[in-house]
Amino acid sequence: MNEYYENYPACGGRSVHSMASKVSVSMDETRESLASFFGTDDPSCYVFTKNCTEGLNTAALGLGLKKDDVVVVTDTEHNSNHLPWLSLEKEAGIRRRISRSSADGEFDIESFQRCMGHDVKAVSVQQCSNVTGCLVPVRAVAEIAHDYGATVIIDGAQAAPHMKVDLERIDADIYCLSVHKMLGPTGMGVMYGKKEVLERMKPLTLGGGTVGLASYDSASLAPIPDRFEAGLHNYAGIIGTKAALEYLKAVGMDEIERWDSMLVEKMMRNLEDVRNLHPVGPSDPRRRTGVFSFNIDGLSSHDISMMADSMAGVMIRSGMHCAHPYYVSRGIDGSARASTYLYNSTEEIDVFTDTLRHIAEVFGD
């Protein structure tokens, strides 16, 4: 990214001089890296966005859903995959069906099947919960949804950084992700779409770069993916995305998933005898990925987070984690949440759990 700013800080797709051409080539190389990383053949199916949220909104608003069209979601979605559909329900008259999870937040395939019907036009689900760490069997979901002719949209923000994602195998129609969760730069996301799905979608934003030719009275859309990428890009971020993918590929996504699982299991085993500490989601670490959400009796989640930071420099998140309906429906005020990744060590897990045990024993109820 520094090399971009220092050596060729130009705009891609706008000029044919040497610096601009290098940027354009770099953008193409990042799309090729994305296609290779996620197991697909066509690099043009990867649209650069500013985050996963923009991708999910582009999908929701671009499908052209009409009054009484049905969309199926789950009750554990992040607000980025909840609010666009809620807005379309109020503004366009679509109808939502919500697949209910178990008490600890695990996906219920039978509840999902009961939601399905030939009136369902889209299914939009997360692959992994950012609250419980529970996985949705997205390949099975896609197979069921496609049997009813529904378009399948997957929020991969939490899954893509932590496990191998094979989009060809999953058979998702649209898959959105956040690059900064994958060791990349902030302000970068990606929306993958099957070409035939992208061809029938309407862009969220129009402007420079999205049209082939415009007159005073008409305009023709540019080819995929350009029609979805209005205006100038975060070129440094796109270049940084390729570097992040190369780094993750060198480490190995299977190895990252194994390391995450080991750290979460160690974390939860270290804390299982703390009586006033309660996990949010499954108590069995093998049923969740690299997040551990929890509460301590007598303390708010923000209290826990600030204490851990001030006492030991342990930084965790607190609140409802942009998954408000999950908490509201269960009567929970929020939770503290520790997340693991490839840069965390077993020693850091011990520091965290020792700190948390002290907080629970001294300040908890």
Question: Which sequence positions are flagged as catalytic?
Answer: 322
| 311 C-beta neighbours (distance < 10 Å), count | 12
Rounded Cα distance between 340 and 334, Å, is 19
Among the listed residues 329, 297, 309, 342, the one whose alpha carbon sits nearest the alpha carbon of residue 131: 329
Q: Is 93 left (phi over 0), alpha (psi -120 to 50) or beta?
A: left
Rounded Cα distance between 110 and 89, Å, is 24
Complete DSSP assignment for 188-257: -EEEEE-HHHHHTPPPS--STTSEEEE-SS-EEEPPTTGGG--S---HHHHHHHHHHHHHHHHH-HHHHH
Listed in sequence order, the residues at least 6 apart from 225 whose beta carbon sits closer than 8 Å to its beta carbon are 31, 44, 45, 46, 47, 48, 198
| 18 C-beta neighbours (distance < 10 Å), count | 9
Which tokens in the block code for residue 112? 């999902």
Q: Are 124 and 62 in contact (CB under 8 A)?
A: no
DSSP assignment letter at 43: G
Which tokens in the block code for residue 105? 């937040």
